[in-house]
Amino acid sequence: MRKFLVTDDSKLARRTLIKSLKEYILEERIFEASNGFEALKLTLKEKPDVVFLDLTMPVMDGYEAIPKIKNINPDIKIVVVSADIQEKAKEKVYALGATLHVQKPIKSDKMKAILEVI
Amino acid sequence: MAQNETQYNLRTADLDNGIIIVDDTLSIYHFNKWLELHTKIDEESVLTKKLDEIFPNIKTKTLIRKIKTALRMNTPTFYTAATSHYLIPIKINQFKNSIFEYMQQDVSIIPYDKEKKLVALIIKDQTNMASANALLNSHIEEIKKLNQALIEEQKLREKQHQQLLTSSRSAAMGDMISMIAHQWRQPLSLITTMMANMKVKKELGTLDDATLQNSFKKIEETIYYLSDTINDFRDYFKPIKVKSNINLYELFSKSIFFLKDEMSQYNINYKINIDKNIEIYTYKNELLQSIINIIKNSIDAFKETTLTNKNITVSLEQKTDKIILFIEDNAGGIDKEHLEKIFEPYFSTKSKNGTGLGLYICKTIIEKHLKGTIDIYSDTNGTKVAITLPTLL
Amino acid sequence: MEENKITLSEDEKDVLQELMNIAYGSATAVVADMLDAFASLSIPNIQVLTMHELFETFDKLKNSSYFFATQAFSGEFNGESAFFINEESAQNLATHLEIESKEDLDDAILELTNVLTSSLTTQLAAEMGSEVIFSLPSIFKVPLQEIENVETFQLYSQVIVIDTDLNFQDQKIHGKIFILTKDESIQWLKTKLNIILEQLI
Ligand SMILES: Nc1ncnc2c1ncn2[C@@H]1O[C@H](COP(=O)(O)OP(=O)(O)OP(=O)(O)O)[C@@H](O)[C@H]1O
Ligand SMILES: [Mg+2]
Ligand SMILES: [Mg+2]
């Protein structure tokens, strides 16, 4: 069973995502972080297999967090969940090592698709 | 919504406004009565032709850009008389008191048929309005001139700043290596010892399979540990971005904006006793991250108290080539037996929410990357964190 | 008016901020496409301000701004948007779009305002199950020293200000857009935000 870390500065975004994630994953395997820095700490401590990551966040944004998380565990899957749907944004996160880029918000059926891919 | 409004506009506006329906290559599909009257051109003769062929003054690129935007977003885009004056040249018949030779037009570009990529261009006569606007516009010129000077100055400053940056890009590799060496000494000697043991046993002929397996397993584990320490202690907190000038007052007021909500939620008074113009040159993100961790600890500590008068105060002391930042709270302090452990990784008294990595990482960042020191003093009243940093890193 | 100042709770703010973030994401994608450039997105900032406080905010921008455009939108969710862009950015925009005349530049800026306003408000309204309509012609340019005299601004007592930056780093084009909504619209917004919140519990 894999562990999941959900990272977003918005509570709404986290709630929405976790609500759909819980349809497929046990709640105790889901952790929450409110910015890239918290995500880094939780990646060290909880060793998740999959990190959902927003891009625009205070303290440490997604762009800064991706390579740092990858450094902790090169096999970790990073799913960038962002409102930024510009092609360049996608290219940039893939170049940094993200596994997937999906547009916000993530409702149930989108989550199913994500879990199938990663 | 857009659809209904479009239909509505098309019907009622037919006599008062010009309407042209074109696709995104400017081929004409409809040219209404109003336009026929004003331009003296028949609809017959323009259908399927290109709008910019009929009216060569039209800026093809701009118009197509607007049409595509309107179609893509499914909402109207505009030309306004205030800036574009007119799309279709129509001479004004009135000979007196007009500052314009041509009818001034507001043009709305409304998505009409998404499939066929058609838009309706609705043209309204705005000559009277435009005369008023023309007067207003004259003001803008003055400001433009004033601002030009400012911009030149800003450009110069940016250039100087850039020069400063390039000359100071030195990584703190040496420190990192010595830190890793320190971490590795013990496990490395463990591996050496085990290898030596095996060698001896082999020579004596007492090396059995079980011992061999066991030793290999231990060595493997130790090697994992080694690579873990590289990770754990080196890379994630290494600065990616370049150093910059940081105004400390702003760092504590603006940059921590999102902590302010939480502080007011718990009725915490947050005071900044720092001179507004003190700057240091260092890694902004890393400093900010450390400060946020420290302030968050204070906020967390207040959550456990029933105190009515809660204060977090930051202040600053200036030395010749360094500064000392103080972040102080009155949240009851840290237990004596905990105090020596707070910088250890994973030490936390917060049952489920704490990772215990906050202060450990702060220390790593401040000492290794920002070349400073961090000290924590605590008594039963509260906690005081002192961060010493070089003014120019 | 001061005594019944409307406030937004943390949760309400968070929801609005996130919805705005999503709306702004698509708006930016359109603008980025239009300009063939890459924009970096920032976190939208949400505040309830009195008009006096709003003018103070504008005033700070004035020092470095050259252009100010506004556009009204109506419907259940109604209000006005304001877009600031400074001289340097405007020049860079001109260079980037190969624009030569001042008129064309003004026009391009108004278009930016329009694209941002309409896609932001349309999407925000859509998230809350509503629609917005733009009254035409509603975009205009205001000389900076006359911002406070903008007629429609006199109608507001307090406003929810959602401000966010438009930031094309490579082209050095920076702008700031404000979405202003007033009294009854704020109340409407609060109700809708709370419905969204409840659905999540
Ligand atoms: N200002 C303070 N007042 C009281 N106790 C504190 C304060 N700062 C730190 N501590 C103590 O030090 C411990 C370690 O702090 P640290 O920041 O390293 O981890 P944490 O806050 O527990 O977890 P996290 O890093 O996830 O925030 C805390 O659990 C707390 O007991
Ligand atoms: Mg975010
Ligand atoms: Mg902490």
Q: What is the CATH number of the domain that holds B264?
A: 3.30.565.10
Residue B179 lies in a domain: no
Give the model confidence (pLDDT) of A15-39 as tens digits: 999 999 999 999 999 999 999 999 9
**How far from A63 is each of A32, A67, A78, CA to CA, in Å?**
18, 8, 11
Q: What values do phi and psi take at B238, rounded to 5?
A: -70, 130
B264: closest chain C residue by CA: C10
Answer whether A41 contacts ligand 1 (Cβ < 6 A): yes
Task: List Cβ neighbours of B368 (8 Å cut-off, separation of 6 or more).
Answer: B172, B175, B176, B179, B237
CB distance A45–B346 less than 8 Å?
yes
Q: What's residue B210's pLDDT? A: 86
C-contacting chains (≥3 CB pairs under 8 Å): A, B
Taking alpha carbons only, the member of A45, B244, B120, A103 closest to residue C25 is A103
Backbone Cα Rg of chain A? 13
Instruction: Give dist(CA A55, CA B387) in Å, integer.
Output: 30
List the CATH number of the domain containing A97.
3.40.50.2300
Torsion over CA of C62, C63, C66 and C69, rounded to 10 degrees? -10
> How many beta carbons lie within 10 A of that of residue B48, not counting itself?
7
CA of B356 to the centre of ligand 1 (A): 7
* B359 C-beta closer than 6 A to ligand 1: yes
C2-193 folds as Chemotaxis protein chec (3.40.1550)
Strands C140-141 and C158-168: unpaired
B290 lines ligand 1 (CB under 6 A): no
* Residue B181 domain-assigned (yes or no): no
Ligand 1 contact via B301 beta carbon (within 6 Å): yes
pTM of the model: 0.70
In this complex, which chains have at least 3 CB pairs below 8 Å with chain B? A, C
Q: Which atom of ligand 1 is least distant from the CA of B383? A: 1
Provide the domain count of chain B. Answer: 2
Q: Which of B126, B153, B185 is the last residue of a domain?
A: B126
Give CA separation, A116 vs A2, A109, A113, B220, in Å: 13, 11, 5, 34
**Is residue B357 a contact partner of residue A44, using CB atoms and an 8 Å limit?**
yes
- Closest partner residue to A83 (CB to CB) among C15, C22, C200 is C22
Tokens matching residue B357: 């990595």
Residue A61 CA, ligand 3 centroid: distance in Å: 19
Residue B13: predicted pLDDT: 46
Task: Tell if the CB–CB gap between B136 and C86 is shorter than 8 Å.
Answer: no
Residue nearest to atom 6 of ligand 1 (CA): B334
- Which residues of chain A fall short of a pLDDT of 50? none
Per-residue pLDDT of chain B (393 residues; tens, 9 = 90+): 344 444 444 544 456 788 899 999 999 999 988 888 888 899 999 999 999 999 998 888 888 888 888 888 777 777 766 666 788 888 876 554 456 788 888 888 888 888 899 998 988 887 766 665 555 455 556 555 656 666 676 666 666 555 444 333 323 344 444 445 555 666 777 777 777 788 888 888 888 888 888 888 888 887 777 766 555 544 566 777 789 999 999 999 977 877 888 898 899 999 999 999 999 999 998 999 999 999 999 999 999 899 999 999 999 999 999 999 999 999 999 999 999 889 888 889 998 778 888 998 899 899 988 999 999 999 999 999 999 999 998
What is the domain extent for residue B45?
Answer: 2-126
Q: Does A11 touch chain B (CB under 8 A)?
A: no
The backbone torsions φ and ψ at residue B17, rounded to the nearest 5 degrees and listed phi first, read -130, 160
Gap between the Cα atoms of B71 and B56, Å rounded:
24
Which residues of C fall within a CB distance of 8 Å from A13? 18
Domain of B67, CATH number, reads: 3.30.450.20
Average per-residue pLDDT for chain C: 80
Which residues of chain B does C110 touch, with a Cβ-Cβ cutoff of 8 Å? 78, 80, 83
Domain boundaries, chain C: 2-193
Would you tell me the crossing angle of helices B284-303 and B257-265 to the nearest 10 degrees?
Answer: 10
User: What's the rounded Cα separation, in Å, for the pair C97 and B163?
Assistant: 30
Interchain CB contact of B358 with C (< 8 Å): no
Among A10, A54, A81, A107, most C C-beta atoms within 10 A, so best to mutate, is A10
Question: Would the CB atoms of C17 and A84 count as touching at under 8 Å?
Answer: no
Residue of C nearest to A89 (CA): C38
Mutate to test the interface with B, among C110, C132, C145 (most CBs of B within 10 A): C110
Q: Where are the beta strands (DSSP E) in A9-97?
A: 30-33, 50-53, 77-82
Of A31, A58, A55, nearest to B295 by C-alpha is A58
Give the closest-approach CA distance of A46 to chain C in angstroms.
Answer: 26
Q: Which 8-state DSSP code applies to residue B366? A: I
Residue B213 lies in a domain: no
Under the phi-then-psi rule, with left for phi > 0, alpha for psi from -120 to 50, and beta for the rest, what region is A97? left
Mutate to test the pocket of ligand 1, among B310, B340, B342 (most ligand atoms within 8 A of CB): B342
C-alpha C100 to ligand 2 mean position (Å): 38
pLDDT value of residue B174: 40
Amino acid (1-letter code) at residue B181: A
Give distance in angstroms: CA of B371 to centre of ligand 1: 22
Q: Which domain holds residue A70?
A: 3-117
pLDDT of res. C201: 67
CB contacts under 8 A, B 21-80 vs C, are: 59, 62, 65-66, 69, 72-73, 75-80
Task: For chain B, list residues whose CB is within 8 angstroms of any CB belonging to chain A.
Answer: 231-232, 235-237, 240-241, 257-258, 285, 288-289, 292-293, 346, 355-358, 361
Which of B259, B295, B300, B385 gets mutated to test ligand 1 (max ligand atoms within 8 A of its CB)? B300
Domain closes at, from B106, B126, B146:
B126
Minimum-distance CB partner of B357 among A44, A59, A69: A44
Distance CA B202, CA B220 (A): 20
Instruction: Give the pLDDT score at B353.
Output: 76
Residue with tokens 């999102």: B258
Radius of gyration of chain B (CA): 36
For residue B142, count other CB atoms closer than 10 A to its CB.
11
How many distinct structural domains can be found in chain A?
Answer: 1
Residue C80 has pLDDT above 70, yes or no: yes
Residues B384 and B250 reside in one and the same domain:
yes
At B324 the three-state DSSP class reads: strand
Q: Which one has a higher pLDDT value, B272 or C56?
A: B272
Element (DSSP H or E) covering residue A114: helix A108-117
What sign results for the dihedral spanned by CA atoms B327, B331, B336, B340? negative
Give the end of a domain, one of B101, B126, B151.
B126
Q: Which of A42, A58, A64 sits opposite B240 (nearest CB)?
A: A64
